[in-house]
């Protein structure tokens, strides 16, 4: 084992984040005993929150381009009547299926008729 640091890449919703990890690393395998770094954790959380805000903003923009109310969008996605309000305020995270559905509808708005 040796003390040191290592840069690792984490992917989150199609975006990459690089973190500098510190600790004791095995010379023969990839195992390590990592030191907790609160500033690194805060940076990761800020990165993740920024991606979530971008996704929420994109979802809201798509809903508005499709001229749907929050209630109508929630009904299309199969969620509760206030689901989109919670998504757009950042109080709840939409599942991937909701994001994917609205990305498809953004490219093919004529499909809304099929869903209604």
Helix ranges restricted to H, the chain: 38-65, 70-77, 83-88, 96-107, 112-115
Q: Tell the residue number behind the tokens 């199969």, with chain if given.
A: 78
Tell whether the model's pLDDT for residue 109 goes beyond 90.
Answer: yes
Q: What pLDDT digit, counting tens, does each position of 24-67 carry?
A: 999 999 899 999 999 999 999 999 999 988 988 999 999 999 99
Tell whether the model's pLDDT for residue 116 goes beyond 90.
Answer: no
Q: What pLDDT digit, counting tens, does each position of 66-84 carry?
A: 999 999 999 998 888 888 8
Is residue 37 within 8 Å of 22, Cβ to Cβ?
yes
Q: Tell the residue number behind the tokens 């559905």, with chain if given.
A: 101
Domain boundaries, the chain: 1-35, 51-116
CATH of 51-116, one of 1.10.260.40, 1.10.3720.10, 2.40.30.160, 3.40.630.30: 1.10.260.40
**Confidence grade of residue 90 (pLDDT, cut at 50, 70, 90):** confident
Cα 111 from Cα 57, distance rounded (Å): 22
Tell whether the model's pLDDT for residue 93 goes beyond 90.
Answer: no
pTM score = 0.71
């Amino acid at each position: 084992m040796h003390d040191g640091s290592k840069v690792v890449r984490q992917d989150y919703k199609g975006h990459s984040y690089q973190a500098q990890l510190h600790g004791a690393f095995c010379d023969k395998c990839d195992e390590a005993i990592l030191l907790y770094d609160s500033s690194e954790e805060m940076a990761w959380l800020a990165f993740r929150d920024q991606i979530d805000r971008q996704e929420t903003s994109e979802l809201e923009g798509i809903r508005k381009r499709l001229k749907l109310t929050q209630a109508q969008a929630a009904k299309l996605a199969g969620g509760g009547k206030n689901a989109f309000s919670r998504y757009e305020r950042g109080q709840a995270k939409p599942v991937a299926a909701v994001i994917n559905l609205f990305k498809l509808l953004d490219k093919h708005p004529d499909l809304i008729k099929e869903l209604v």
